[in-house]
Structure 1
Amino acid sequence: MASFLVAALYKFVHLPDFQALQAPLLACCETHEVKGTLLLAEEGINGTIAGTSTGICAVLEFLRDDPRLKTLVHKESWADKMPFYRMKVKLKREIVTMGVPNVQAETMAGTYVSPEDWNALIDDPDVVVVDTRNDYEVSIGTFKRAINPHTASFTEFPEWVKEQSAEGGVLHNKPRLAMFCTGGIRCEKSTAYMRTLGFDEVYHLEGGILKYLETIPSGESRWDGECFVFDERVSVLHGLEQGHYKFCRACRLPLSAADKSSSLFVDGVSCPHCHDKHTDEQKQRFAERQRQVELARKRADRHIGVRVELKKAAKEKAMKQKAEAAAEATTGLA
């Protein structure tokens, strides 16, 4: 039975004091043994965390105690194993990086469309359906009829829009757009961006692909494939069940069964996507890392997570010793 609750969350909201929120939020997560990554910026909060149901509820309650985050919405799924190795709360310029200033997603986002109404919208031949995710995410699953912009990062999306808005492009003279992403955050910002360019009839999937897969039965679905997620589950299916993909430990791209059967796949070292992108020295380092992982697995132990935790403990010990040394030096001068 799955024992770890995974909560994906985001909210565009003005947080001018976001830097001051970092330490207490991290402390709350660590107190309740919650792991994952949360991003804080002046434009809001974004991230995914995992832990016991009690721990996740405590962190969500802590966030919603802030009146600005009272209406924070999250999506839940379950994992058999802890999908993260540690807890990070990062400070960012944007909670999802587009690189375009003054895109006010909080007030300018397009029209929400519920999962229940999504099929009818994207079945309309006059509606251009755009997947706002990166190419490697789209490659393992997307909605039927959806256009793949083939972007390597979200910062490339504005340039794609510029190219495709010109004569002959897929967006030229196409006022009705339906946009989607994993959890809703990228399409919320991208629809706001499209509205600044004069696209007024812009829609986006409320709750993203994850909410659609959670809500819509597979027999009624327009989804084809699996949905990439940014944790150790790698991908999910309808009902948010864990999918069949695994990470390449060298490049972090999702691997199918066919990828893993390729002669270019060496566990932990290379895959068909990255076999020619690393030096021999890097591959030797990856191979040694994989050897240590396999040894740890034979001992029924963890390798990566334990290493992270030990490094963190060592750092904290060093800081404590430094502080004690400084205090002793001050006492000696008195």
Structure 2
Amino acid sequence: MNDLTNKPKSLPILNIAGYQFVRLDQLESLRESLQESALLHQLKGTILLAEEGINLFLAGLESDIQDFLKTLRADPRLRTFTTKDSWSSSQPFRKLLIKIKKEIIRMNHPTITPEKGRAKFIAPEKLKQWLDQGHDDLGRPVVMIDTRNSFEVEYGSFDNAMHFNINKFSEFPEAIESHLLELADKTLVSFCTGGIRCEKSGLYLRERGLEHSYQLDGGILQYFEDIGSAHYQGDCFVFDERETLEPTLAAKPQGRLKPKKTNP
């Protein structure tokens, strides 16, 4: 979690996003416990639960968020749950929604199981070094792979990133198949908003024989926090009423009609 001592005085609402791939059972009981705590603390947002883990986006007053996280981390399976934090002047969610799903991020590829082990990842600082020098440490060209939906890419992405005009993440495996040969001798870094999609895309790339592939640890938002805008053009779309975040992690009003928010 970020250092909350840097809270802007004019922005009272704490927004948290986080996920954890971990084997969960008794999902209905867990859902009821989290719903009770979230309602008690007047939090709004979305929590997705599945046998493979948890994914959440919540917002509320800092003290209420912290109390909720104490409840969540009291579950031994979730004691290491971490979040990415940002601040806003108002509540960016309209309601609280807690759902049990087949997958917390749908790929429809049963052999990809992040809860059993992560793909190789690269820290934002190391990625910037590679992008600065134009190659990885062994001299291979670096290709950024954007795993997000096409409308998200329109708001911003890494310089010269490859994307596939997909409408939902479950289309990613098929979309990349025609590019396997051209990518085989390159170092690949897949990325998404907060990292969750790349937990699966990174494993999939290696399953398909692309051994020099990594996921950007923490996604675009972690890169913004650690690095800023270097090698990135535009903003980052987020699935709440803020719509986009600038590289400073501040919300940026768009003044335009919002595209249809297809689930990632």
In structure 2, do the counterparts of structure 1 residues 31 and 133 end up closer, same or farther at CA, with 3 Å as the change threshold? same
The C-alpha deviation readout for 1:74-111, integer Å capped at 9, x for no partner, is 00001111001111110000000111113111234322
The root-mean-square deviation of aligned C-alpha atoms, in Å, is: 1.7
Task: State yes or no: 1:126 paired with 2:135.
Answer: no
Q: 2: distance between equivalents of 1:228 and 1:112?
A: 22
Give the counterpart letter for 1:5 in structure 2. Answer: L
Q: Which runs of 5+ in 2 are unaligned?
A: 1-9
Contact 2:239–2:261 at 8 Å: present in 1 too? no
Task: State yes or no: 1:97 paired with 2:92.
Answer: no
Match of 2:218 in 1: 207
- Match for residue 250 of structure 2 among 217, 229, 241: 241
Q: Shift of the alpha carbon at 1:176?
A: 2.1
- Higher RCO by CA contacts (8 Å cutoff, separation 6 or greater): 2
| TM-score computed with the length of structure 1 as normaliser | 0.70
Q: How many residues align?
A: 247
The C-alpha deviation readout for 1:270-310, integer Å capped at 9, x for no partner, is xxxxxxxxxxxxxxxxxxxxxxxxxxxxxxxxxxxxxxxxx
Contact 1:38–1:89 at 8 Å: present in 2 too? yes
Q: 1: distance between equivalents of 2:198 and 2:244?
A: 19
Q: 2: distance between equivalents of 1:69 and 1:79?
A: 26
| TM-score computed with the length of structure 2 as normaliser | 0.88
Task: State yes or no: 1:32 paired with 2:41.
Answer: yes
Bigger-Rg structure (1/2): 1
In structure 2, do the counterparts of structure 1 residues 20 and 59 end up closer, same or farther at CA, with 3 Å as the change threshold? same
Q: 1: distance between equivalents of 2:32 and 2:256?
A: 31
Task: State yes or no: 1:187 paired with 2:198.
Answer: yes
In structure 2, do the counterparts of structure 1 residues 246 and 88 end up closer, same or farther at CA, with 3 Å as the change threshold? farther
Q: 1: distance between equivalents of 2:29 and 2:170?
A: 27
The C-alpha deviation readout for 1:171-203, integer Å capped at 9, x for no partner, is 2x2352111100000011110122222222221
Contact 1:108–1:195 at 8 Å: present in 2 too? no
Match of 1:223 in 2: 232
Match of 1:315 in 2: none
Flag the structure with higher helix content: 1
The C-alpha deviation readout for 1:214-257, integer Å capped at 9, x for no partner, is 12144xx111100000000000012201113256368459xxxx
Contact 2:144–2:190 at 8 Å: present in 1 too? yes
Q: Residues 306-325 of structure 1: matches in 2 within 5 Å?
A: none
Contact 2:21–2:115 at 8 Å: present in 1 too? yes
In structure 2, do the counterparts of structure 1 residues 201 and 108 end up closer, same or farther at CA, with 3 Å as the change threshold? farther
The C-alpha deviation readout for 1:103-151, integer Å capped at 9, x for no partner, is 1112343222111111123432612210111110011100012101111
Q: Shift of the alpha carbon at 1:45?
A: 0.3
Contact 1:215–1:239 at 8 Å: present in 2 too? no
Contact 1:108–1:192 at 8 Å: present in 2 too? no
Q: 2: distance between equivalents of 1:252 and 1:193?
A: 25
Q: Which runs of 5+ in 1 are unaligned?
A: 254-334
- Match for residue 109 of structure 1 among 95, 118, 121: 118
Give the counterpart letter for 2:33 in structure 1. Answer: P
Q: Residues 1-334 of structure 1: matches in 2 within 5 Å?
A: 1-122=10-131, 123-124=134-135, 126-165=141-180, 167=181, 170-171=182-183, 173-218=184-229, 221-246=230-255, 248=257, 251-252=260-261
Contact 2:225–2:249 at 8 Å: present in 1 too? yes
Q: 2: distance between equivalents of 1:199 and 1:14?
A: 27
